[in-house]
């Protein structure tokens, strides 16, 4: 007799912004390389940072979905994947692809 265990994680903790960015980009673009840097602390006091509570990020991303795409097309794909976070959770985004 084989026993199959079901694992379910229940949490009331909200997803952090970097975790949400990672999830959305992974779901949309299946990156082979992804680095997310929260740079919000560098922009403390900036008008947009006050409204979004920070939200300055730099990402480095490589994905098979980018194959044959221009830099502009790749950046649009990233922005499309993160659209639900703009502009309330992400105020500024630097992308290296």
pLDDT, one tens digit per residue, over 11-25 is: 566 889 999 999 999
Where helices occur in 1-97 by DSSP H, the ranges are 17-29, 47-52, 71-81
Domain hosting 32: range is 17-96
44 pLDDT higher than 80: no
Question: Coil, strand, or helix at residue 77?
Answer: helix
User: Is residue 8 domain-resident?
Assistant: no
Neighbours of 21 (CB within 10 A): 23
Our count of domains for the chain comes to: 1
Residues 36 and 71: their CA atoms lie apart, in Å, by: 18
Could you tell me if residue 42 is inside a domain? yes
Residue 2 included in any domain: no
Residue 35 in domain: yes
The CATH number assigned to the domain holding 27 equals 3.30.300.90
pTM across the whole model: 0.78
Q: What pLDDT is attached to residue 11?
A: 56
Give the span between the Cα atoms of 32 and 38, in whole angstroms.
20
């Amino acid at each position: 007799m084989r026993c199959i265990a079901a694992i379910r994680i229940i949490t009331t903790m909200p997803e952090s912004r970097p975790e949400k960015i990672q999830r959305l980009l992974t779901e949309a673009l299946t990156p082979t390389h992804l680095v997310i840097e929260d740079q919000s602390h560098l922009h403390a006091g900036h008008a947009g940072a006050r409204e979004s509570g920070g939200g300055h990020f730099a990402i480095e991303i490589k994905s098979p979905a980018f194959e044959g795409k221009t830099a502009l097309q790749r950046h649009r794909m990233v922005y499309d994947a993160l659209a639900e976070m703009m502009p309330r959770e992400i105020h500024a985004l630097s992308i290296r692809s």
